[in-house]
């Protein structure tokens, strides 16, 4: 059971990556619950899908268009699960050079009435530069 | 039931504040699970009580000796709960002037075999300067 929750969440993480990397911010926002809380560094908490979509669009507009996420740990109980993970966010400059920002994050996942796991809380911060 | 979980966690938050504000980093570390993950900004993940105690000691040594925490939201299922919250961390300089850093955080709480809720995952980041 716990293993199947982890598998379900890792599958959602792959969908998140794909939406982000394809630049489909509406699809990305739809992975969150309607009342989700996004907690970016140096920002107040951002609530709800329209504002979350706008936030991720601003990240893409700043040139950060590729993400790779790596789940480290999932704990679950009933319709609630927590994911501890790392991510690498990559920006490509106009001249084709890239820079990658290593992040770590915690997502609170909620399994909603339709059986789908969605991000209810999403918080991250920086790792030391490598 | 959900309300009593929130009350139990808010009580633990008060104990956390008291330990921090009294400078008792051993008591603070004891509020975490043995395998807890502490995820400070600009740091790799710190695992386990001895390393967590050392981290918080370093925060105190840097002059940040007063914390006020404010729980915004608690979700729980069985022995797992998540807390979304804000905190104000205050440093006092040698001349008595203070500066306060506003933070937001997510804690994953786990109710252990002895019935006590402990911090299993603790991640935070900065808010905009006021």
Contact residues, chain A, for B112 at CB < 8 Å: none
Q: What is the pLDDT of residues A98-110, one digit of tens each?
A: 999 999 999 999 9
Spatial contact of A122 and A32, defined as CB atoms under 8 Å apart? yes
- Nearest CB among A105, A108, A124 relative to B82 is that of A108
Convert A13-48 to b/e letters by CB count within 10 Å (16 or more is b): beebbebbeeeebeebbebbbeebbbbbbeeebbee
pLDDT of B39 reads 98
pLDDT digits over B16-49, tens only?
999 999 999 999 999 999 999 999 999 999 999 9
Residues facing B46 on adjacent strands: B38
pLDDT of residue A2: 62
pLDDT digits (tens, 9 = 90+) for A28-45: 999 999 999 999 999 999
pLDDT of res. A100: 95
Three-state SS for A125? strand
Query: Which uninterrupted H or E stretch holds B3?
Result: helix B2-21
Residue A78: list chain B partners with CB under 8 A. Answer: 77-78
Instruction: With CB atoms and an 8 Å threshold, state whether B106 touches A105.
Output: no
Termini Cα distance of chain A: 37
pLDDT band, residue A129 (cuts 50/70/90): confident
Q: Which chain A residues are closer than 8 Å to B125 by Cβ?
A: 39-42, 123-125
Going by the DSSP 8-state scheme, the letter that residue B114 receives in this structure is T
DSSP per residue over A5-42, as a string? HHHHHHHHHHHHHHHHHTT-HHHHHTTEEEEEEEE-TT
pLDDT at A53 over 70: yes
pTM above 0.80, yes or no: yes
Q: How many residues does chain A have?
A: 130
Q: What is the pLDDT of residues A9-31, one digit of tens each?
A: 999 999 999 999 999 999 999 99
pLDDT at position B129 is 75
The tokens describing A42, both together, are 């140096």
The ipTM of this complex is 0.95
The stretch A53-70 carries a mean pLDDT of 97
Helix (H/G/I), strand (E/B), else coil: B94: coil
């Amino acid at each position: 059971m716990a293993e199947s929750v982890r598998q379900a969440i890792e599958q959602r993480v792959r969908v998140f990556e794909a939406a982000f990397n394809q630049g489909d911010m509406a699809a990305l926002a739809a992975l969150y619950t309607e009342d989700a809380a996004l907690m970016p560094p140096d920002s107040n908490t951002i609530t709800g899908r329209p504002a979350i979509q706008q936030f991720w669009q601003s990240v893409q507009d700043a040139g950060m268009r590729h993400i790779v996420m790596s789940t480290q740990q999932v704990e679950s109980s009933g319709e609630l699960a927590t994911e501890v993970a790392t991510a690498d966010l990559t920006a490509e400059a106009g001249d084709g050079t890239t820079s990658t920002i290593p992040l770590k994050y915690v997502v609170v996942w909620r399994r909603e009435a339709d059986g789908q796991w969605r991000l209810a809380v999403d918080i991250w911060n920086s790792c030391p530069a490598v």
